[in-house]
C-alpha cells in the first residue's frame, strides 16, 4: 500500500508563486463565501424585517467572521 500523503504537493519546495497560490485559494474562497453570506443576510433582513434587525445582522456577521477566524488560528 502506498502512503496517500506522500503524493500531496509540498508548499516548501518548488516555485514560490505556485505554492502561494495553492495555499491562498481555499482561504480566498472561504472569505468570498462569508462575504456573500453576510450580504445575502443583509439584503433579506433589510427588506423584510427592518432597520433594527439589519443592524443586528451586520454586528453579528462581524463577530461571527472574527470568531471563525479565531477558531481557525487555534487549530
Q: Which tens digit of pLDDT belongs to each residue from 11-54?
A: 677 788 888 888 889 888 988 888 888 888 888 888 888 888 88
Q: How far is CA 55 from CA 25, 26, 33, 35, 63, in A?
A: 31, 29, 20, 16, 13
For 27, the grid coordinates are: 482561504
Q: Average pLDDT over the chain, rounded to whole? A: 77
Q: How far is CA 8 from CA 11, 17, 36, 39, in A?
A: 9, 17, 31, 35
Output the pTM of the full model.
Answer: 0.59
Residue boundaries of the structural domains of the chain: 38-75
Distance between the two ends of the chain, CA-based, in angstroms? 30
* Ranges assigned E (strand) in 3-75: none
Amino acid at each position: 500500500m502506498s502512503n496517500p500523503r506522500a503524493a500531496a504537493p509540498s508548499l516548501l519546495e518548488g516555485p514560490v508563486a505556485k505554492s502561494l497560490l495553492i495555499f491562498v485559494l481555499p482561504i480566498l474562497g472561504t472569505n468570498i463565501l462569508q462575504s456573500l453570506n453576510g450580504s445575502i443576510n443583509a439584503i433579506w433582513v433589510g427588506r423584510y424585517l427592518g432597520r433594527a434587525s439589519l443592524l443586528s445582522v451586520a454586528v453579528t456577521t462581524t463577530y461571527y467572521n472574527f470568531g471563525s477566524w479565531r477558531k481557525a488560528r487555534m487549530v
